[in-house]
A and B are shown apart, each in its own frame.
Chain A
Amino acid sequence: MSAATGPVTDKIDPFSKKQSVKKPKQKRSQASSRYKAKGGTELVPLPQLKDAPPAEQHELFIKKLQQCSVVFDFMDSVSDLKGKEIKRASLNELVDYITAGRGVLTEQVYPEVVKMIASNIFRTLPPSENTEFDPEEDDPTLEASWPHLQIVYEFFLRFLESPDFQPSIAKKYIDQKFVLQLLELFDSEDPRERDFLKTVLHRIYGKFLGLRAFIRKQINHIFLKFIYETEHFNGVGELLEILGSIINGFALPLKAEHKQFLIKVLIPLHKAKSLSLYHAQLAYCVVQFLEKDATLTEPVVRGLLKFWPKTCSQKEVMFLGEIEEILDVIEPSQFVRIQEPLFKQISKCVSSPHFQVAERALYFWNNEYVMSLIEENSNVIMPIMFPNLYRISKEHWNQTIVALVYNVLKTFMEMNSKLFDELTANYKAERQKERKKEKEREELWKKLDGLEINATVNNKEVKSVPPTSTNTPVAGASPAVGTRYAPYSPTAHRLMAK
């Protein structure tokens, strides 16, 4: 091997060839984790329901339900093809039978129906193929047994929606335990399954009054686990969608339980990393609550401000969108209560170096209702907004933002020209005052630090206190002290040398 010769120069280019390492993406499907699924039951085709004499149909119906309770291995796509086909045909027949037939849902049928559904859909969800699964980037893993599962769900829906369906009988079988297992399935990676589940759960919530409180409580638990423990649950969006319509139906005045749900569950849901996946549904729920009861505005807005994103600009844009939705329905009396903290935040957003954030915040001024609220309270809002707007109008890097800021300043001028002139005149003085205050703070802390050093030297008793003062310099310390130059690195600028 002649290492030193030959056209190796190209090979060594550090920027080529990286791409080739990555595996081509392939669409995957996945089997459910069914523990020791029993095999060996061979399906024997039964006669068609429509061919059977009416007297025998009922019995045949039950037989078919039992037949469809057998579960097949879909990871092995060639095994037992005959059986799979028999089951598929039976399932389709069952769907037709309960859709078209009247009086077929007798009391004896209920346990068999629920058993068939349960044995097909309830299973421990398999471990995720992709541990760093990013729902926005990656394709979801699809359920392998979907050809059967889809018809089972279809059947379930027809069953619940049948005019013959009697919740009073069904509640013996569709009980709390059943619902719990159903909720568990919302974590399925397959969006098709979650979509069915959404409709199914909605129907159950509608028809089984006795289960409503229980369902709400369990959804609470799922959300809380998602927020505080795992940050992972695929079905948050679907559950929120159901809740949206549930909230819509809440009676007034709202029960304490519902208010607690809003403040302690829905608001913290804004924290999660994957907010973008369910933000639209979440914001809808929040606004639904506010339309029901305007007095909730203050805790909601304060809650959002508490969880305001610190670094994620994408989420910040979503928050701003939600705030505007809230402002659209806000009552002026509520607006007054939150305007100060809210506009302090908006003022920060307007001066964000990320232009999408700044732009989204500045768009508020295009909203007529919001404008009217600002105008009514201009004496409070203008002093909060003015310093940042004034500064940004001079130094933001993005010309669109600068133009928008000019417009906002113009509206302020038209709104209250006297206040505007005052603010402009005082701008410099205010900045100086701030700087002076800053200096005083620094002095104070310097003294305190000196004190601590003395105390640690003199006083043995407090020795155990860790000297935290050295960890973090006070923010905003004068640059002369704070700035240190990194040692010169001779290789840093060499990367491109050739």
Chain B
Amino acid sequence: MAASDSDDSLYPIAVLIDELRNEDVQLRLNSIKKLSTIALALGVERTRSELIPFLTDTIYDEDEVLLALAEQLGNFTPLVGGQEHVHCLLPPLESLATVEETVVRDKAVESLRKIAGDHSSADLEAHFVPLVKRLAQGDWFTSRTSACGLFSVPYPRVSSTVKAELRTNFRNLCGDDTPMVRRAAAGKMGEFAKVLELEYLKSDLIPLWTNLASDEQVQNDSVRLLAVEACVSIASILPPEDLETLVMPTLKNAAEDKSWRVRYMVADKFTELQMAVGPEITKKELVPAFQGLLKDCEAEVRAAAANKVKEFCENLPEDIREATIMTSILPCVKWSFSLQDLVSDANQHVKSALASVIMGLSPILGKDNTVEHLLPLFLLMLKDECAEVRLNIISNLDCVNQVIGIHQLSQSLLPAIVELAEDTKWRVRLAIIEYMPLLAGQLGVEFFDEKLNSLCMSWLVDHVYAIREAATNNLKKLVEKFGAEWAQSTILPKVVGMAQDPNYLHRMTTLFCINVLADVCGNETTMKVLLPVVVKLAADAVPNVRFNVAKTIQKIGSQFDATTINNQCKPCLEKLQSDQDYDVKYYAQEAMSVLCDAA
């Protein structure tokens, strides 16, 4: 390499290694992070013969340093001379893959997987696979845990004898004495299944998987839990005729496992499982299992299942979809929602999960079913004591709206909205505001003026800034819907009135409103009604208001003709430019230069 030839003596390895040995951890860490620079200075040959052996020997350090090292080495292939020499990186990474700390080990495995791709097939067999085997047979559980992640990368590229060895090793890891190792093996089973030949998948891996999935030791529901994850990959690879005998019994057991964590996992992966096993098995096996999960005794499980209701129903085969929903799913949903859980409020999560997805069923079921079966449920949810439940219904109303129209709902909707608009949680209020323009469009101007207008104005003086901000943007959208005339008669008087409010935050809100309304109200109104208010506020006692005046003029100035700019805007800005406050001056100057540029 060019660099190494130029001046070796400049960078004796001792100096560089001194840096890697520095007493201060932070300095050591910095040096390791620049390991590629050091390697570059040394050139490929000396990197191989001096630097890498040094690194291999000195792997006892702070985990943070080791983590950086593990990461660096994954990108080192070109620095040691490319493909034919890449295997010299294996020894340090092998040591790193055995350390105690999980993040270091994981990073080492990641880097090993990365450089496995840089190996030739011959080198994989000569160097990489032996490393995997050594790790898989290591004394302490850490090396065996790391080994689990190293099977799927080399497997497709080695000879059939070596493949057989790899399978044997993986099998041993699945039956390891330590639960940590079994967990790691269960976690990697899915990816290993994907590279395995079908016959071995059936003869080797499936029995192992079944074993892990029934890991009898009570302590290790964590193993069974990971086996559920692997189930998705395995089921998607196997041909349908094998699914029923090889996969389904285990899956059914998992759905009824005595540990709620395993059942939760099944519920959480349910739609993925549904896609993997296909429509026939879904019909026969998954629908009952799903019913069971929706009625589970643990709220966590019910909530996870509830979240999947919509997607599950959408993915049902068309011929049975409606019937299944009506006869199997909906009754469970109703049951689950009305379940009285006296002490714990975990039930609240189930309810809000249901509320957020149940609306999605409306398009699937069509108008008649929605009116007859879903509507009562929606109304029930709208009256729920929990704000989140009501909110989830309201924010998903558009689905139903498309099916049955909003007038059916408006009467029962309104009290709920008014109540939510004053909820103590500002995020709830925010969500309601965001829904306002849509509602306004549906309900029409009269209804809106009568019922909702005062609500929209009250948000402008909310004590949370995010709400005030959202309220101003909401006004803009409303004006876009109802027109400038409506704005002038209904909104502007209030906005302008707030300019005299004793609270400076409210006076600023006036300015913020003007910023967004100027556009939609038209030039005429802006000039006649809004600009005078802005100019007047330039004399405000609070500097924040004054520099916001400058900002507002900068924003709306482009709407005016030259006379207005020269006669009203500029004098005002000139005055602000000589303000005693630094920030006011700054923004006034900025606004001035923008106005001048435009003109």
Contacts and interface: CB of A to CB of B under 8 A. Distances in A.
Interface string B62-97: 100000000010010011001000000000000000
B42 to A, nearest CB: 10
Given A4-B506, A13-B463, A180 B30 contact: no
A209 interface: no
A472 B30 contact: yes
B348 to A, nearest CB: 12
A268 interface: yes
Given A124-B221, A225-B179, A1 B454 contact: yes
B30 A461 contact: no
B183 to A, nearest CB: 8
Interface in A11-50: 11-14, 17, 20-21, 28-30, 33-36
A211 B457 CA distance: 73
A12 B503 contact: yes
Contacts of A177: 216-218
A459 B504 contact: no
A455 interface: yes
Contacts of B544: 491, 494, 497
A435 B343 CA distance: 66
Contact of B461 (A3, A36, A75): A3
A221 B542 contact: no
B31 to A, nearest CB: 9
A122 B69 CA distance: 46
A12 B505 contact: yes
B346 interface: yes
Contacts of A497: 504, 542-544
Given A449-B37, A455-B40, A35 B102 contact: no
A465 B298 contact: no
Given A181-B218, A221-B179, A28 B542 contact: no
A490 interface: yes
Contact of A36 (B79, B101, B297, B504): B297
A247 interface: no
Contacts of A12: 461, 463, 503, 505-506
Interface stretch (A327-335, A421-429, A439-447): A439-447
Interface in B32-59: 33-34, 36-38, 40-41
Contact of B503 (A8, A225, A452, A459): A8
Given A35-B258, A221-B178, A180 B2 contact: no
A264 interface: yes
Contacts of B543: 494, 497
Nearest to B38: A448
A124 B180 CA distance: 20
B298 A126 contact: yes
A118 B235 CA distance: 36
* Residue picked from B36, B75, B140, B586, most chain A C-beta under 10 Å: B36
A455 B40 CA distance: 8
A34 to B, nearest CB: 7
B343 A17 contact: no
B217 A468 contact: no
Contacts of B179: 221, 225
Contact of A468 (B24, B34, B183): B34
Interface in B241-295: 256, 258-261
A184 B219 contact: yes
A451 B458 contact: no
Contact of A448 (B34, B140, B297, B455): B34
Interface stretch (B322-330, B357-365, B493-501, B552-560): B493-501
B100 interface: yes
Contacts of A468: 33-34, 36-37, 72
Contacts of B100: 228, 264, 268
Contacts of B346: 127, 129
A221 B100 CA distance: 14
A168 interface: no
B194 interface: no
Contacts of B218: 122, 177, 180-181, 184
Given A1-B458, A12-B503, A451 B217 contact: no
Contact of A9 (B261, B425, B502, B586): B502
B141 interface: yes
A447 B58 CA distance: 26
A441 B34 CA distance: 14
Nearest to B581: A490
B344 A465 contact: no
Nearest to B458: A1
A243 to B, nearest CB: 18
Contacts of A461: 1, 78, 82
Q: Say which size band chain B's interface belongs to.
A: 35 or more
B3 interface: yes
A127 B79 contact: no
A234 to B, nearest CB: 14
Given A75-B343, A444-B15, A466 B75 contact: yes
A464 interface: yes
Contacts of B463: 11-14, 17
B151 interface: no
Contacts of B82: 461
Nearest to A448: B37
Contacts of A445: 34
B488 to A, nearest CB: 17
B503 A9 contact: yes
Contacts of B15: 444
Nearest to A461: B78
A403 interface: no
A90 B6 CA distance: 91
A124 B260 CA distance: 7
A3 B180 contact: no
B511 interface: no
B494 A459 contact: no
Contacts of B505: 12
A354 interface: no
A50 to B, nearest CB: 37
B136 to A, nearest CB: 18
Given A224-B141, A465-B75, A34 B506 contact: no
Contacts of B40: 448, 451-452, 455, 462, 465
A496 B431 CA distance: 29
A454 interface: yes
A458 interface: yes
Interface in A118-135: 122, 124, 126-127, 129
A448 B11 contact: yes
Contacts of A35: 256, 258, 260, 297
Interface in B535-591: 542-544, 547, 582-583, 586-587
Task: Across the A-B interface, give the 9 residue pairs with the lowest CB-CB distance, nearest first.
Answer: A490-B583, A4-B497, A1-B454, A4-B498, A455-B3, A228-B102, A452-B37, A9-B503, A465-B36
Interface of A: 1, 3-5, 8-9, 11-14, 17, 20-21, 28-30, 33-36, 75-76, 122, 124, 126-127, 129, 144, 177, 180-181, 183-184, 218, 221-222, 224-225, 228-229, 264, 268, 306, 441, 444-445, 447-449, 451-452, 454-455, 458-459, 461-462, 464-466, 468-469, 471-472, 474-476, 490-491, 494, 497-498
9 contacts: A124-B260, A127-B298, A127-B346, A129-B344, A180-B219, A221-B180, A464-B75, A475-B27, A476-B27
Interface of B: 1-3, 10-11, 15, 19, 24, 26-27, 30, 33-34, 36-38, 40-41, 62, 72, 75, 78-79, 82, 100-102, 140-141, 178-180, 183, 216-219, 221-222, 256, 258-261, 297-300, 342-344, 346, 424-425, 454-455, 457-458, 460-461, 463, 494, 497-498, 500-506, 542-544, 547, 582-583, 586-587
Given A221-B179, A490-B587, 19 more contacts: A3-B460, A9-B502, A11-B461, A13-B463, A14-B463, A33-B297, A122-B218, A221-B180, A221-B219, A306-B62, A444-B19, A449-B37, A452-B36, A455-B1, A459-B2, A468-B72, A472-B30, A497-B504, A498-B504
